[in-house]
């Protein structure tokens, strides 16, 4: 299982992802692919994300049952603690 959530992504990237994945809500894509195809999809996101951001989750044989990465500017940063990946929040700098 592969889940991708995009924010502020260019339309051309969203259209490209719609070729491989089902867009169940605006900016939320799901599918089930091999590791090789998943890596190709991630590479397309890296190349086309521009000013946007993304979180990509996939099924993985670990304690949580999944793994994830984040791409682009985002306040949520993955941190590994005791072998479990959690989310750390950066301070809000909009003010």
pLDDT of residue 90: 80
Give tens-digit pLDDT for 10-60: 999 999 999 999 999 999 999 999 999 999 999 999 999 999 999 999 999
Is domain 2-89 in CATH 3.40.50.2300, yes or no?
no
Task: Look up residue 90 and give its DSSP letter.
Answer: P
34/51 Cα distance (integer angstroms): 28
* pTM of the predicted protein model: 0.86
- Mean pLDDT for the stretch of residues 2-17: 96
62/22 Cα distance (integer angstroms): 25
pLDDT of residue 95: 67
């Amino acid at each position: 299982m592969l889940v991708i959530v995009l924010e502020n992504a260019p339309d051309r990237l969203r259209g490209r992802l719609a070729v491989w994945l089902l867009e169940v809500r605006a900016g939320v894509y799901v599918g089930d692919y091999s590791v090789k195809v998943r890596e190709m999809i991630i590479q397309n996101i890296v190349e086309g994300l521009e000013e946007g951001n993304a979180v990509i989750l996939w099924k993985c044989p670990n304690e949580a049952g999944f793994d994830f990465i984040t791409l682009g500017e985002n306040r949520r940063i993955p941190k590994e603690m005791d072998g479990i990946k959690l989310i750390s929040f950066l301070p809000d700098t909009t003010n």
